[in-house]
Structure 1
């Protein structure tokens, strides 16, 4: 049985999609949709990464409902650049 939900994705382009939801009472994945496990390097035995195995209770079914437009350049948030018109960060001072 497919349990549908609406989700927003960003790659390869912003869009709203209709996708399958994993069973919340699944004994294998506890409703997450997959099983995460760590693996090590064969020779040294040290941690080499984490892999994800999808659970059979959730299919990879998805349909794009609505492609979302990209934000105009002047509305995009600048994260690493200081604001040229004011101080960086927040202030405890009152606005006036």
Structure 2
């Protein structure tokens, strides 16, 4: 088990401790699996299948610290103007 800390944004922002693929794995060369492209009956690209390698369990993760969400901005207001307009000259 090779652990690392990463940041996730779904379902809410958090720091999570995750497992990583074995870097010297002879099957996946440290990528964690194999991506296989496939096509439809016309030979056009139709998608990619992902086959995970047994050296890595991508479901093994633990939430360490939930992070606060960013506040939504309600709009920008000029703190020196009244209603966003000023009668002062620019100099």
State TM-score, norm by structure 1: 0.69
The yes-or-no answer on 1:18 pairing with 2:11 is no
Return the alpha-carbon distance in structure 1 between the equivalents of residues 49 and 13 of structure 2: 26
Q: Distance in 2 between matches of 1:27 and 1:5?
A: 21
Q: Structure 2: which 5+ runs fail to align?
A: 74-91
Alpha-carbon offset, residue 45 of structure 1 = 2.3
Q: CA RMSD in A?
A: 1.1
Among 40, 43, 46, the residue aligned to 2:44: 46
- Greater Rg by CA: 2
Deviations 1:2-45 (A, max 9, x none): 1111111111111111111110001111111121110111x222
Unaligned runs of 5+ in 1: 75-96
Give the distance between the partners of 1:10 and 1:54, measured in 2 at CA: 23
Distance 2:12 2:34 in 1: 27
